[in-house]
Amino acid sequence: MNPRTILHLNTEAGWRGGEAQTLRLAAGLLARGHRCLIAGVPGGDLVRRASAPGLEVVPVPMRGEFDLGAARALAHIVREEGVDLMHYHTAHAVTIGTLATLFLRRRPATVAARRLSFPLRSALLGRFKYSFRVDRVIAVSEAIRRLLVRRGLDPARVVTVHSGIDPERFAGGDGRRFRESLRSVLGADAGKAFLIGTAGHLAAHKGIDLFLEAAAGAAAEWPEARFLVAGRGEGEAALRREAARLGLEGRVVFAGFRDDMPDVLAGLDLFVLASTSGEGSPAVLKEAMAAGTPVVATALDGIEEILEDARHGLLVPPGNAPALARAMILLAGDPALRSRYAAAAKTRVLEFTADRMVERTGEIYRSIDPGAW
């Protein structure tokens, strides 16, 4: 591609998978010679983290998706910086970005990301939102692409690009160091405890309550098992109460948000993703696979595009805690099976690298106006 100026718009103040992918994509495009601007909430996690790789940061106060002041400010940035393409990374960003283009004589190319598999709230409004002055929509899984097309979006304008990770980073985690940091929970012999963990935003659709219910069932048959929940979110207090109700006090640790996820995943004997809905192409699942950690996950459409049941790990029906517990117990008791699944998953995850994501996204940019790129 010819070097271009790309503005990445993300309206989230916190740090979740979508923000990590925004930063990963921008950094990859920067490494390929493009100029990348990160437009985000002042003081937000993305704006703060984006300064590290040398990306250009343009804080834009945003008070909701219909903030005309934010749209005007964004239009000014696009004009002054000579932006060639705007990439919207959140649903609210699509609205604000589209409003901004109404203040411009020359509209840059526009791309919208759709990361979650939740249905659009309104078929009519959703179709308008993701079609009006939007050149391409990038769905992070084929399941999301199909959902958008069923809602009436033009199939020629909706493409699939799975989110990408850096496998080498997660292959190099220090699991022993992480386990030592949990000595107070795992006990003096921290290295021998069988540690089963999950990670993600502590929201209802992530199924952490089901993970805890399954953990209680597994603990009854596997006394050496200990459990870990990494992440933060609005559901944490209720989940802590649920863990106590299930009798897991002293056997489960809520580790909060972690910047050392390679170490965390390397320290686990088994990783569990118990989501019940909403998942697109979960990076944490790929990160666990890259770390060589055996995986149990729920059989949601996007997850099944990444992990094949009984080949790369075990898949169970969403919302079924007993099935989740049985899968945990099966793998806990079979080291050879864990090893076989982990090895296959480590090879499989090489199909979901950040480099592939960046290259595929660049191809989509070029498809909008081949002569300009």
267 and 141 assigned to the same domain: no
* Same domain flag for 215 and 360: no
Same domain, 171 and 118: no
* Beta carbons of 34 and 358 less than 8 angstroms apart: no
Looking at the structure, do residues 194 and 138 belong to the same domain, yes or no? no
Same domain, 270 and 332: yes
Virtual torsion, Cα 184, 190, 192, 196, nearest 10 deg: 60
Q: Are residues 203 and 343 in the same domain?
A: yes
For residue 360, being part of any structural domain is answered with yes
For residue 248, being part of any structural domain is answered with yes
* Residues of the domain holding 71: 5-164+353-368
State whether 223 and 134 are in the same domain: no
Domain match, 219 and 343 both = yes
Name the one residue in this structure whose structure tokens are 């239009």. 75
* pLDDT for residue 188: 52
Q: Does residue 108 lie in a domain region? A: yes
Are 114 and 193 contained in the same domain?
Answer: no
Q: What is the CATH number of the domain that holds 75?
A: 3.40.50.2000
Q: Residue 278's pLDDT is what?
A: 87
Question: pLDDT value at position 30?
Answer: 95
Q: Say yes or no: 157 and 182 in one domain.
A: no
Same domain, 301 and 159: no
Structural domains of the chain, count: 2
Is 188 within the bounds of a domain?
yes
Q: Is residue 251 part of a domain?
A: yes
56 burial level (CB within 10 Å; 0-12, 13-18, 19+): middle
Give the residue from 276, 285, 280, 367 showing the smallest Cα distance to 319.
Answer: 276
User: What is the pLDDT at residue 118?
Assistant: 83
Written as tens digits, the pLDDT of the chain (373 aa) is: 688 999 999 999 999 999 999 999 999 999 999 999 999 999 999 999 997 777 999 999 999 899 999 999 999 999 999 999 999 999 999 999 999 999 999 999 999 999 988 888 777 788 999 999 999 999 999 999 999 999 999 999 999 999 999 999 999 999 999 988 887 666 656 667 899 999 999 999 999 999 999 999 999 998 889 999 999 999 999 999 999 999 998 899 999 999 999 999 999 999 999 999 989 999 999 999 999 999 999 999 999 999 999 999 999 999 999 999 999 999 999 999 999 999 999 999 999 999 999 999 999 999 998 877 7
pLDDT of residue 1: 64
Q: Which residue has the tokens 């919302």?
A: 319
Residues sharing a CB contact under 8 Å with residue 280, sequence separation 6 or more, in sequence order: 114, 115, 116, 117, 139, 140, 141, 143, 144, 163, 302
Q: Angle at CA 74, nearest 5°, toward 71 and 79?
A: 125
> Per the domain annotation, does 158 fall within a domain?
yes
Q: Are residues 155 and 297 in the same domain?
A: no
Q: Residue 191's pLDDT is what?
A: 64
Distances (CA, A) of 52 to 27, 47, 81: 10, 10, 21
> Is residue 373 assigned to a domain?
no
Q: pLDDT at position 223, please?
A: 86
Task: Give the per-residue pLDDT at 120.
Answer: 82
- Any domain includes 263: yes
Question: What's the CA gap between 84 and 373, in Å, rounded?
Answer: 10
